[in-house]
Amino acid sequence: MTEQEKIALIEETLDLDEGTLTADTVLDDVDEYDSMAKLSLIVMMDDEFGVKLTGDVIKGFKTVGDILAVMN
Amino acid sequence: MSFFKSNGIGIAGIACAVPKNNVTVDSFTPVFGEEVTSKFTAGTGIKAMYKALPEQTASDLGVAAAENLLSKLDIDKNEIGAMLMVTQSPDYRRPSSASIVQKRLGLPISCSCMEINLGCSGFIYGIQTAMSLMNSSDMKYALLVMGETASKLVDPKDKSIVMMYGDAGAAVLLERQADAKTTTLLRSDGDRFKAIVLPAGGFRDMTPTHERFMCSDGIERSLYDIFMDGTSVFSFSITDVPQALKDYLEKTETTAEDYDAFVFHQANQFIIKQLIRKMKLPKDSVPISLDRFGNTGGISIPLTLCDAYGDKNEGKKNALMCGFGIGLSWGVTNAVIDFDKVFPIIETDDYYKEGKITPEML
Amino acid sequence: MYSNIDNVKVIGIAAAVSEKWDSVMEVTNESQEVLKRFVKKTGVEGRYSASLKQTTSDFCCAAAERLLTEKNINREDIGVLVFVTQMPDYRIPATACVLQMRLGLSNNCIAFDVNLGCSGFVYGLNILSSLMSTSSARYGLLLAGDTSAREFSNKQKEKIGHTSELLFGDSGTATLLERSEGDSLSFMSNTKGSGFRAIIAPYGWYRNPESPDGRIHYSVMDDIEVFNFATNEAPEQISSYMDKKGTTSADYDCLVLHQANLMIMKRIAKKTGFSEDKMLVSMNKFANTSSSSIPLTLVYTYGDSEENKSINALCCGFGVGLSWATVGLSVNKKDILPLVHTSEYFKDGYNLDDLEENNND
């Protein structure tokens, strides 16, 4: 998966229009990145990448780039 | 219908813990005067009790008792299938203290933990409930943990009960015993629920006043203190309770001669004397702990067993036990207990430091 | 713990809510767009909330009265009453004793409270049926519920709008068990006390009597830990249960999960091989009703059905503790009563005058 495709996946998970996010976007600036969005992220990461996100890991996400880093 | 039967499950061991902080009735003399304190001891038989430190909760006392028991019996904790906690003074509103006790004891997630809210009848109800859970599964052991810090529910100026309640914790392990046959009688009367009540802090009235008001016994209380209708509770203790004992003996086709020990909830010595008289019991077979431990609620039965028989090498004895009180709720049961597995009471000033919650933790 | 109790059967389920339903779309201090997103994300369209004077026991009492009357039960034959709640009427005595009186049950009916939330219905049923099996009681009554809508979460660190209060609803339920030759109930239950902080109301009781800001009646939930717990442990337990019973999702008419959150429920259904149309949902109308949610969902789905047909419901409650439990229930649709609405409350519960008059130590 390319970086662009991964960003598109995050946008879809967060219910955002395509092209809203870049790797440098600060998550605190994204209104839609609320607690429900984080749960959707957990589901997406588990289903698409088999990655289990814990609360501590999610707390560590400051930018979209941080999320991309674990999408393997 | 109020009789419960369990076969093949018996008591493997009992242990109790009290806080290190010993308080004598005499120490209240500067507050209430010598006449009040000596009259209190003369009337109730209570001379001293143990009171939890502000940091110690019921679950700390229960954990201390349980840790002692499990290490003395050298049990594999993974074989404990259920843990039942009985308390009226939980750590938090939620989750129940059973969760904290499970964590601190290191019980496995396969051990189902739950908590019930009962007082002086709590030991009898707790034993029967734990036996019932064990009865419907194949677990090797079930653990009953009890804890009470009634001293925290009482107004410090309430001379009728501040010198009455002692704090304690208990743990009882149940195991499979092929020959064990237990009959338990349990009764409940909610009509008299106001006989012992702490009105505030629940959800019936979420904003009760802290205002103090004078009660007809000349003692000021607020809705956040325990109210006990002494007359009604006394009357219950000397009518409903002996009736239950009589019904129990009749149902089990036994008499007082069939039992080696009679252990009653340690409410006050006058009540116990009445029970001895009404049931014609041999005084030496009725152990007393209230003089040194006060009224420890549901824990008073296991505490009295530990106090009377811990480390005394008495071997196996058939004990008839009876708890009665708040609810109103009461029960009678018997058990053949190996008194070599009833351990001396330990003292503790330990408490769960991580239990204190600060806003940053949430 | 896995337990099996022979000769018991569920013969009636009832649930009660207030007469006041609040719609999410009518919340006045958020934009319609935020509200629409909330409904879409959580699945909650609204919920019932108790009046100021109503407690959980009032709803359970109303549900139980309806159940006992409809089924024409001789109250003298009820031997065990278990009340599961995290919101009792008083600190002490147990509210079950008050309920025993209000329902006119005999002194031979034992009564006590169990402090559990979302797993409470299943745990309560386990305790009740176990006690019934060691006695000669003909009937046992499980009352379960909470009035969680009264609380609110203190979530300063999260972007949660005013709608977070609408995530919880108030309800009380009553489930009647009868001694019944040939029937049985099996349960699987677990507890993980190390997760005690995941859902906690820490203040006002004996570990932290004072709250830093003076408010004692609130709960805090670690959403992510609870989500991970629910979506991993619950499906594992359900699958173990089915393995133990030799069943698959095909053997059940429906999957009834604690109505925590739609995402959690869908995930559990997916992991346990249940299609979404078998997964019952009631949280759209009631939000999260704690230990009421499983019986309330059955009432919502089948309460108006007069069909004389037995259904097999696989039920799983999970949450505070952390605690979770599964049971396979076989119950007839006609034994599931229509939803009860009530504005009643126990007036004598507020009457404390006799405490002052009778106290003559």
Chain A CB within 8 Å of residue C223 CB:
yes
Query: Where in chain B are the domains?
Result: 7-346
Residue in B118, B133, B356 nearest the CB of C207: B356
Q: What percent of chain A clears pLDDT 70, i.e. is strictly above it?
A: 100
Percentage of residues in chain B with pLDDT exceeding 70? 99
Half-sphere exposure in the Cβ direction for C107 (13 Å, CA): 14
pLDDT at C354: 60
Indicate the domain borders of chain A.
Answer: 3-70
Q: How many separate domains does chain C show?
A: 1
Tokens found for residue C193: 């006390």
Q: pLDDT tier at C101 (50, 70, 90 boundaries)?
A: very high
* C residues 12-71 lying closer than 8 A (beta carbon) to B: 52, 55-56
Q: Which domain, by its residues, includes C118?
A: 2-343
Cβ separation of B193 and C93 shorter than 8 Å? yes
Does residue C161 have a pLDDT over 60? no
CA distance A57 to A33: 15
With contact defined as 3+ CB pairs under 8 Å, the chains touching A are C
- Which stretch of DSSP H or E encloses residue B50? strand B48-50
Nearest Cα of chain C lies from the Cα of B34 at a distance, in angstroms, of 18
pLDDT at C361: 36
Q: What is the pLDDT of residue C25?
A: 87
What DSSP letter does each residue of C96-150 carry, written as one string?
HHHHHHHTT--TTSEEEEE--STTHHHHHHHHHHHHHHTB--SEEEEEEEEEGGG
Residue C359: pLDDT band with limits 50, 70, 90:
very low
| pLDDT exceeds 80 at position C218 | no
Computed over every residue of chain B, the mean pLDDT equals 94
CB-CB neighbors (< 8 A) of C360 in chain B: 216-217, 229-231
**C109 pLDDT more than 90:** yes
> Pairing relation of β-strands C323-332 and C170-191?
antiparallel
Residue numbers in C near B216 (CB within 8 A): 356-360
> Residue C263: which of A39, A54, A55 has the nearest Cβ?
A39
Q: At C152, is the pLDDT very low, low, confident or very high (cuts 50, 70, 90)?
A: low
Which pLDDT score is estimated for C360? 38
Q: Are residues B139 and C197, on separate chains, in Cβ contact within 8 Å?
A: no
Residue C98 confidence (pLDDT) above 90: yes
Quick check: C159 and A35 CB within 8 A? yes
- Nearest chain C Cα distance for residue A36, angstroms: 7
pLDDT band at C349 (very low <50, low <70, confident <90, very high): confident
Query: If you count them, how many residues does chain C have?
Result: 361
CA B245 – CA B188 distance, rounded (Å): 15
Distance (Å) of CA B269 to CA B22, B51, B281, B294: 20, 20, 15, 10
User: b vs e for B187-198, b when ≥16 Cβ sit within 10 Å of the residue's Cβ?
Assistant: bbbbebbbbbbb
Both tokens of B347, joined, read 């003292």
Of the pLDDT bands very low, low, confident and very high (cuts 50, 70, 90), residue C160 is very low
Chain C positions touching B145 (Cβ under 8 A) are none
Distance, CA of B102 to chain centre: 19
| Pair of tokens at residue B27 | 């120490």
| pLDDT band at B228; cut points 50, 70, 90 | confident
Q: What pLDDT score does C155 carry? A: 43
**Residues of chain C contacting residue B226, judged by C-beta atoms under 8 Å apart:** 92
Give the residues across from B10 on adjacent strands.
B175
What number of other Cβ atoms are within 10 A of residue B206's Cβ?
16
B286's tokens: 């009725």
Average pLDDT of the residues of chain C: 91
Question: Mean pLDDT over residues A40-56, rounded?
Answer: 93
How far does A55 lie from chain C, in Å, by closest CA?
6
Q: What CATH architecture applies to the domain B7-346?
A: 3-Layer(aba) Sandwich (3.40)
Q: What is the pLDDT of residue C357?
A: 47
Asked if residues C331 and C310 have their Cβ atoms less than 8 Å apart, the reply is: yes
- Point out the catalytic residue in the list B16, B111, B113, B120: B120
Tens digit of each residue's pLDDT (9 = 90 or more) over A1-46: 899 999 999 999 998 999 999 999 999 999 889 888 899 999 999 9
Contacts with A, C 108-137, CB within 8 Å:
none
Cα C338 versus chain centre, distance: 17
pLDDT of res. C28: 73
Closest-CA distance, C304 to chain B, in angstroms, reads 31
Confidence of residue C356 (pLDDT cuts 50, 70, 90): low
Q: Are C328 and C312 contacting, i.e. CB atoms less than 8 angstroms apart?
A: yes
Binary contact (A35, C261; C-beta < 8 A): no
Residue C18 CA to residue C59 CA, distance in Å, equals 8
- The residue type found at B310 is G
3-state secondary structure B259-310: CCEEEECCCCHHHHHHHHHHHCCCHHHCCCCHHHHCECHHHHHHHHHHHHHC
Reported ipTM: 0.94
User: DSSP labels for B110-163?
Assistant: TSEEEEEE-STTHHHHHHHHHHHHHHTB--SEEEEEEEE-GGGGS-TT-TTTTT
Instruction: Give the per-residue pLDDT at C34.
Output: 81
Q: Which chains touch B (3 or more CB pairs under 8 A)?
A: C
Least confident range of C29-43, C70-84, C273-287? C29-43
- Mean pLDDT within C228-248: 97
Tell which CATH classification among 3.40.50.150, 1.20.1250.20, 1.10.1200.10, 3.90.190.20 matches the domain A3-70: 1.10.1200.10
Per-residue pLDDT averaged across B63-85, rounded? 97
Provide the pLDDT for residue C156. Answer: 39
Distance (Å, rounded) from C-alpha B178 to C-alpha C128? 25
Over the stretch C184-211, which tens digit does the pLDDT of each residue have?
999 999 999 999 999 998 988 899 888 8
Contacts across the B-C interface (CB distance below 8 Å): 319
Distance of CA A40 to the CA centre of its chain: 9
C332 touches chain A (CB under 8 A): no
Helix axes C56-70 and C95-102, enclosed angle (nearest 10): 40
Catalytic residue among B16, B68, B113, B265: B265
How many angstroms separate the CA atoms of B340 and C160, rounded? 58
Q: Greater confidence, B177 or B214?
A: B177
CA distance C226 to chain A (A): 10
The 10s digit of each residue's pLDDT in B289-323 is 999 999 999 999 999 999 999 988 888 999 999 99
Phi and psi at residue C54, to the nearest 5°: -90, 140
Evaluate whether C348 touches C99 at the Cβ level (below 8 Å). no
CATH of the domain at C334: 3.40.47.10
Percent of chain C with pLDDT over 90: 76
Q: What is the dihedral of CA C94, C136, C77, C180, to 10 degrees?
A: 110
Report d(CA B2, CA B185) in Å as an integer.
6
What does the pLDDT read at residue B67? 98
pLDDT above 60: residue B224 = yes
C351 domain residue, yes or no: no
Residue C157 has pLDDT above 60, yes or no: no
When pLDDT is cut at 50, 70 and 90, the band that residue C78 belongs to is very high
Give catalytic status of residue B295 as yes or no.
yes
Q: How far is CA B316 from the centre of its chain?
A: 23
End-to-end Cα spacing for chain B = 47
Residue C255: what pLDDT? 98
- Predicted structure pTM score: 0.94
Question: Residue C138 contacts by C-beta under 8 Å, 6 or more apart in sequence?
Answer: B1, C77, C78, C79, C178, C179
Greater confidence (C354 vs C328) lies with C328
